[in-house]
Chains A and B, each alone.
Chain A
């Protein structure tokens, strides 16, 4: 099993450009999430999905779009990149049955710089 994979590992964008961060998992997890990590702020939830066709907003959704057409893939789209979106982005997946356990398996991250 590859677990959670993310591409690309590094990306530099100019302000106003758009791009898609890819995330895929092979563990048949229904629950997938996108986080951003900034120094001193832990991880903040951007968007999440409880299954194919269902997505919802997290703490910091502005400037990002997601879709979930398959169980395996959960891409994150930046519509018009801004310097404030410079961050490290992590995708995660988990098995969640509605109970207290929602242990996340994280990908290796994408380091994004917006100039």
Chain B
């Protein structure tokens, strides 16, 4: 069974601080996705990383896929109150019988205080 462990589960910081969220597994994934979810809404895709060691930037957000494609991180620089929300990582399984199913981490709730 493939599992994704996200840490930390909760993060409360002041505006302007930097933070990193981690998504770890003992399994290899074809890709890792990051979603952001606001209260009362469905998750919205932020980015997909596919290649081991890949780094993608989305304004103040930096996403990295581990070299072995077992882990990923999300780094936010100079967090703003608008970054508040639930961040979810999700992996697409790899290997024979791949069905495209996504495995989600437990999520990281981020609160950025002004």
Contact = CB atoms under 8 A, between A and B. Distances in A.
Interface of A: 4, 31, 33, 35, 40-45, 48, 50, 56, 58, 90, 92, 94, 96, 98-109
Contacts of B101: 33, 45, 48, 58
Contact of A42 (B31, B33, B88): B88
Nearest to A42: B104
A100 B43 contact: no
A103 B41 CA distance: 17
Given A40-B9, A41-B106, A42-B107, A104 B43 contact: yes
Given A96-B100, A100-B50, 8 more contacts: A33-B102, A40-B107, A42-B6, A48-B101, A92-B42, A98-B98, A98-B100, A108-B42
B41 to A, nearest CB: 6
B42 A100 contact: no
Interface residues of B, number: 29
A45 B88 contact: no
B41 A104 contact: no
A101 B48 CA distance: 8
Contacts of A108: 40-42
The 9 closest A-B pairs by CB, nearest first: A106-B42, A100-B30, A42-B104, A100-B31, A43-B104, A102-B100, A96-B100, A42-B106, A42-B107
B19 interface: no
